[in-house]
Amino acid sequence: MRTLKIKPLTAEAFRPFGDVIEIGNNQSQPMNRGMAERFDALGRVELQGEQARAVISLVRSSQYPVPHTVDLVERHPLGSQAFIPLEDSPFVVVVAPAGESVTSDALKAFRTNGRQGVNYRSGVWHGLLFTPFAAMTFICVDRAGEGSNCEERSFPPGQQVLLDP
Amino acid sequence: MRTLKIKPLTAEAFRPFGDVIEIGNNQSQPMNRGMAERFDALGRVELQGEQARAVISLVRSSQYPVPHTVDLVERHPLGSQAFIPLEDSPFVVVVAPAGESVTSDALKAFRTNGRQGVNYRSGVWHGLLFTPFAAMTFICVDRAGEGSNCEERSFPPGQQVLLDP
């Protein structure tokens, strides 16, 4: 089985797939009389379809055994989906460009630096949230509302890839 | 100057003002083949007005000196505003019910337990994000778009209150 190369997550590399939510080198504006600074709109919440609304949830993810087989991806055609970790621990995201079809040849894997969250743009294919280094809790910001907002594609055995962080 | 009593933040006490974003005693649903669990829609993002959209920002707040004088509150009439800390440290929120007028007699102060975020409902009056125990970084989820979405009310000296956590 092919092993997917995992690269460091950067805003530039992730741009086709969504936003990296991090302080990084972003600019801030002062607020609260200079006692705070705001790094504005690092992630843009996308909402389509009837009665669409954004919700803030928490997601607690167990530590995954490694190596991990990527045998499925999913996408949310009606909204973005952000995961921002509450712990300073890296995790791994697997993505492929939006579009009707997806093959594992198109997959890219990124390792966060422990101070980064991600926001998948609507329709971007992604693997399950992969937390190989620790159990982690995430803030999730995504869409609620009417309509079918989750599609999955399974890869046949010959198309599956391995993640070995 | 009157000192405002600070109470522990609970979902019940905060209900008139918004949501407490915490795992707490909330129920979860399994996701990702049982490797994760989702505590769904703990915070509901409210958006009103033209071209309203939700954005995800980061806010870095300095440690405040204490005691702290509350001499102003603000409100966002066109959207909710959530602050969820990335650090396990408590902070203090000061709120008063939504409505055209506000006096400091109506203020309530709550101390988080270090694992809680808050989501102010549209129009709820609140003080500046008060971080007396440590410098802290927050994820902020609020509204962007056209229109005037921040109003402030200053309290005259005789109406100001003190926070002494």
pLDDT tens, residue by residue, A80-104: 999 999 999 999 999 999 999 999 9
Give the gap in angstroms from C-alpha A108 to the nearest C-alpha of chain B.
19
Which residues from chain B sit within 8 angstroms of residue A59, using beta carbons? 31, 36-39
Residue entry with tokens 């954004």: A54
Contact flag A139-B59 (C-beta cutoff 8 Å) = no
How many residues in total does chain B contain? 165
- Does the model's ipTM exceed the 0.90 cut? yes
pTM over 0.95: yes
Contact flag B23-A128 (C-beta cutoff 8 Å) = no
Give the gap in angstroms from C-alpha A75 to the nearest C-alpha of chain B.
13
8 Å CB contact between B3 and B161: yes
8 Å CB contact between A68 and A132: yes
| Phi, psi for A157 (deg, rounded to 5) | -50, -40
pLDDT one-digit tens code per residue, A117-136: 999 999 999 999 999 999 99
Contact flag A44-B55 (C-beta cutoff 8 Å) = yes
Contact with chain A for residue B11, Cβ under 8 A: no
Read off the CATH number of the domain in which B107 is found: 2.60.120.480
Q: Which of residues 80-109 of B touch A (CB under 8 A)?
A: 82, 84, 86
CB neighbours of A101 closer than 8 A, spacing ≥ 6? none
Domain enclosing residue B153, as ranges = 2-163
* CA-based nearest residue in chain B for residue A73: B32
Which residues from chain B sit within 8 angstroms of residue A84, using beta carbons? 56, 86, 139
pLDDT one-digit tens code per residue, B60-91: 999 999 999 999 999 999 999 999 999 999 99
User: Percent of chain B, pLDDT > 90?
Assistant: 97
Contact with chain B for residue A113, Cβ under 8 A: no
Write out chain A's pLDDT in tens, 165 residues: 999 999 999 999 999 999 999 999 999 999 999 999 999 999 999 999 988 999 999 999 999 999 999 999 999 999 999 999 999 999 999 999 999 999 999 999 999 999 999 999 999 999 999 999 999 999 999 999 999 999 999 999 999 999 999
Domain count, chain B: 1
| CA-wise closest residue to B59 among B120, B131, B116, B138 | B138
Q: How many CB pairs under 8 A join A and B?
A: 135
Give the gap in angstroms from C-alpha A105 to the nearest C-alpha of chain B.
22
Give the gap in angstroms from C-alpha B19 to the nearest C-alpha of chain A.
10
**Rounded to an integer, what distance in angstroms lies between the CA atom of residue A59 and that of residue B36?**
7
Contact with chain B for residue A60, Cβ under 8 A: yes
**C-alpha count within 13 angstroms, C-beta hemisphere, residue B76:** 25
Contact flag B128-A39 (C-beta cutoff 8 Å) = no
pLDDT of residue B37: 98
Contact flag A62-B36 (C-beta cutoff 8 Å) = yes
pLDDT of residue A50: 84
Which residues from chain A sit within 8 angstroms of residue B44, using beta carbons? 53, 55-56
Of A37, A40, A84, the CB nearest to B139: A84
Contact flag B32-A140 (C-beta cutoff 8 Å) = no
Give the gap in angstroms from C-alpha A77 to the nearest C-alpha of chain B.
17
First to last CA, chain B: 15
